[in-house]
Amino acid sequence: MAGRNQHVVPHDRGWAVQGAGNSRATSVHPTQSQATAEARSIARNQGSELLVHGRDGRIRERDSYGGDAFPPKG
């Protein structure tokens, strides 16, 4: 079973890693790149998706580490 998608979101102390549906941050980091590295590691371990948000809240990057229901043909 896949884990929760991991979101990198703005936080008042920098950038937070937050699992989908969680109200509290898993961890808080001073830079977006540090938060993204942590979230990527969690997503890989859980076989879930990584979603990186910008300061405006919009998704600017996403990576999937789970089983793709619609893998590319080729």
The tokens for 40 are 């990527």
pLDDT in tens, 22-42: 999 999 999 999 999 999 999
**Distance (Å) of CA 59 to CA 9, 31, 39, 42:** 9, 17, 14, 18
Q: Quick check: 11 pLDDT over 90? A: yes
pTM over 0.75: yes
- Strand, helix or coil for residue 37: helix
8 A C-beta contact, residue 64 and residue 47? no
Q: Where are the domains of the chain?
A: 6-60
- Tell me the residue length of the chain: 74
